[in-house]
Structure 1
């Protein structure tokens, strides 16, 4: 009988929740435990469609992880930052600009934020196929648990959400799932083609008062994600904000043992603008949390690399409400591989141009105007 013991690692103590009165976004809470019944599924389709077309962000509960399991996940998430030396981190830096891949470390001060200030964020990124590259020594005993996190996020969170989104477009419920595969039928295909499924651990460090002043307290400019679905395991340090439809920034509130979900550009393209990618940013936490680091766990997913990012025109709903095309002709839409590599290599490194919109900078990537909000 296999051992049930897991490697011992230091416990990560999260920050206490803020007591500040913040202007929080009123987001829907999607309970995936209701997915198992036809009645519950039908209700979730309507609830998710309303959440995606009104706010673009929502919470997920009933995802199958206990509070204790979530605590263990955050203990693991801190290991690549607190248990790996700076010298060893350098050995596992991602070749992001060269290859358009995030696999490995993104070290602090890689991204330019504003006013000559660079970021104070560390990332460690792991492809769902953990064998694709080597990892720091401290992480190696934890790789089975990290793979399990990726598998759970894909099968028990992403998959039902994609089914609900397809049903919301009045398409067969496996339409989106078929282009967001966990595995492929062909082993040769899976090794030769990249399936963009990524676990990211992310640690924000406090900044100096001078840096806060130069950036107007913005840690990451307003942006949309590049993929189809972003999954964020909720943590207590308030810093994430979304741009509401009335033009104001609303805070995302922490809910214990919940997940925050949003769509990215790839889903926006596929849904003809119906599931719009919502602009969001990261700012300095409120005063009672500013001495703490902010540790995040993400699962990012894009369609398979060979998928063309053109609208799903077979959708009866889109035929009724209209399709917002980013390209004049569907054949001009980029493949996921082109979009993924171009956006990834450019982020935080490219020179942005001033937009006609106030407080907006922009660049053109794969024929798409990509905007950054500050």
Structure 2
């Protein structure tokens, strides 16, 4: 039975060459890998989950005060059944919140990266929400160092391309499914838009990844492992050496369908002005460049948000 590997990121310091080879092989094959040994404190993850669950339990009219219309859900609250996977007829069975990067308001990116909003009803939301944003941002940067080395780029290649990235922490609530034969799934088959996604809380069943052979492979994590997958922007930048793999969250076929599911992905984005042209190191006679037009990460993001009906 195929299985997405779990690798201990501490080996990057102690056994670098072997770790880089293994993580590179995992991403080339699956576009996914589970990362353990990351050092993000359990109390930060648990505290964040508790704050997010407290918010989602609030009355609908309270939550809707934080729905910022016309922003594409870039910050604050997005209600149930709004986001729709590309080419899907049915909206996803979820509601979510977006935490973004805190940047100086005189930054050149201020017009495309709005300030955060925080729910006053849940005082601990900001501390834990931004704490987790920061911790996953740092972990993502560590993963990108290994991915850079695997394709013969300098270790710090991504550093100045993601330090002002338009990244998003997205606490998601999938409510209990109470109807029989509901046509919607919790999250329709899709690929992520960004560079890499770090998912905290894939311990509940439902997440599945599509293998090269066309089979759906379930992913559940053990211990402290965090699922990290490639998004479309990094697939484009690496000329598909790192594939952005289709994945979905299916409805459980047992009593767990009657329970809520929570998950917290962190979408690590490049800075808005990064041009997503394939790097020379990933262009070979066997893998000629697949793109003949240039696009910045911000233009690409807007194009994709329109496709999934967020703008």
What's the TM-score bracket when you normalise by the shorter of the two chains? 0.7 to 0.9
- Tell whether the 8 Å contact from 1:25 to 1:251 is kept in structure 2 after alignment: no
State how far apart, in whole Å, the 2-side matches of 1:278 and 1:117 are.
21
- Tell whether the 8 Å contact from 2:51 to 2:124 is kept in structure 1 after alignment: no
Q: 2:298 aligns with which of 322, 331, 337?
A: 337
Q: Does 1:108 align with 2:73?
A: no
RMSD: 2.4
| More moved, 270-279 vs 101-110 | 101-110
Q: Does 1:224 align with 2:194?
A: no
Please state whether the residue corresponding to 2:11 is helix, strand or coil: helix
- CA deviation after TM superposition for structure 1 residue 222, in Å: 1.2
State how far apart, in whole Å, the 1-side matches of 2:22 and 2:100 are.
31
TM norm structure 2: 0.88
State how far apart, in whole Å, the 2-side matches of 1:138 and 1:323 are.
53
Structure 1 partner of 2:110: none
Structure 1 partner of 2:18: 43
- Tell whether the 8 Å contact from 1:100 to 1:342 is kept in structure 2 after alignment: no
State how far apart, in whole Å, the 1-side matches of 2:128 and 2:49 are.
12
Q: Which residues of 2 match residues 56-75 of structure 1 at below 5 A?
A: 56-75=31-50
- Tell whether the 8 Å contact from 1:30 to 1:48 is kept in structure 2 after alignment: yes
- CA deviation after TM superposition for structure 1 residue 115, in Å: 9.0
Q: 1:337 to 1:46 in 2, by over 3 A?
A: same
Structure 2 partner of 1:168: 150
Q: 2:171 aligns with which of 187, 201, 212?
A: 201
Structure 1 partner of 2:61: 87
* Post-superposition CA distance 1:80-107 (Å, at most 9, x none): 202x331121121144xx4445211110
Q: Does 1:119 align with 2:92?
A: yes
Structure 2 unaligned segments of length 5 or more: list them. Answer: 104-113
- Tell whether the 8 Å contact from 2:194 to 2:270 is kept in structure 1 after alignment: yes
- CA deviation after TM superposition for structure 1 residue 66, in Å: 3.8
- CA deviation after TM superposition for structure 1 residue 320, in Å: 6.4
Q: Which residues of 2 match residues 211-290 of structure 1 at below 5 A?
A: 211-212=181-182, 214-215=183-184, 218-290=185-257
Q: 1:145 to 1:318 in 2, by over 3 A?
A: same
For the pair shown, which has the larger CA radius of gyration, 1 or 2?
1
Q: 1:111 to 1:145 in 2, by over 3 A?
A: closer
- Tell whether the 8 Å contact from 1:88 to 1:136 is kept in structure 2 after alignment: no
Q: 1:319 to 1:112 in 2, by over 3 A?
A: closer
Question: Which structure has the highest helix share of the two?
Answer: 1
